[in-house]
Amino acid sequence: MDFSYSPDQLDLKRRAAEYTALLMEYEDESEQAGGPLPAETVRALTRKAMEYGVYGINMPAEWGGAGLSLLDQVIVEEEFGKATNCLWDIPWRPSNVLAYGTPAQREKYLLPILRGERFDAFAVTEPGAGSDPSSGTSTATRVARGWLLNGEKWFVTCGDVADFLLVQADAGPDRLATIFLVEKDTPGVEMKRVPHFMHTSVNGHPEFTFTDVFVADEDVLGDVGQGYELTKEWFTDERLMIAARTVGAAERALSLARDWAVERHQFGAPIASFQLIQAMLADSAVDIAINRAYTHQVAWEADNDTDRKTLHAKASIAKLSASEAASRVIDRSLQIHGGRGYDRANPVERLYREVRVDRIWEGTSEIQRLIIANELTKRGTRVLQLG
């Protein structure tokens, strides 16, 4: 087993890093604007992502995606994570489960995304159903040629810019969890509120209500009753990408802290010469190295047909460990910067706010621990083994 990057992967990392540097040029503008960038800027950055080959990285090349393996995607997302203001949302990554759509669904929903013409958003969370999606109350009632969808969804990431939503709802009297493809301009769909969260994000996380929204049979993704399976697969990939991005965020913070510690003088010496500062830098390097290695390992295993149930737990380990480690690294980095680190003009301050949600969305740290413990109790320490 060789984890050294191939020449193609080195080139991919270079391209992702160069594109991320371009995104970074818009960090201050996004921060001052409270998140959104002008539509023309987003279109230009979208075109650039396509030119760099880092757009639609999770979809096959024959459909117009970048055709990357999961390990390749982790390499790219790690670079993206270094940009603040969630600017990594601009080089769009379609919901992975759209790949399971029918040929007609692919033409209608997925291919336009890969051309940069449309955007999607996944709607699972509800006011009373966060960590436990099975407690959702959204329903789909059978009618002629389709379904009537009723319910409410919260924290729909990128829902403000999306053209359509993947909505999980319980279908029929047996309440079979199902994913419905819902155009946002369908009568009965209403975007109620876009919360202002702790972090500044280029796209929002709005709340939606669905009132007797008609969804045709041909807009059911997969089979009726396949909703949990599809959502679980979406979660697995998203958690692994969160792990990759938080590793990247931590690395940027450590790089900034290291440079500051070398340049900043107090008591007649650079603060990098003080042992307490050295300890923080060293601990941060360890946190990053360990989590990068494990995230890469899990992605490699996924590309080599690891059992999906075990992979689900391993992605939880990666997400849990990397997101919590990044919080530690960025906290130390801010502390090393002192008062300057508390200034919103400093990327470390923005990273400090942004990384906090990574311990909440796509499953809280506590839920990740339950998933890992459940795998251990059912299958033993297999989750710790390679392959």
Which residue among 126, 251, 362, 375 is the active-site one?
362
- Give the amino acid at 379: R
Sign of CA dihedral 266, 272, 276, 277: positive
CB burial of 348-376 (b: ≥16 within 10 Å; e: otherwise) equals bbbbbbbbbbbbebbbebebbeebbeebe
349 carries an active-site annotation: no
- Give the amino acid at 202: V
Beta-carbon count within 10 A of 89 CB: 19
Token pair listed for 133: 């999606």
* CB 137, CB 182: distance < 8 Å: no
Kindly list the catalytic residues. 362
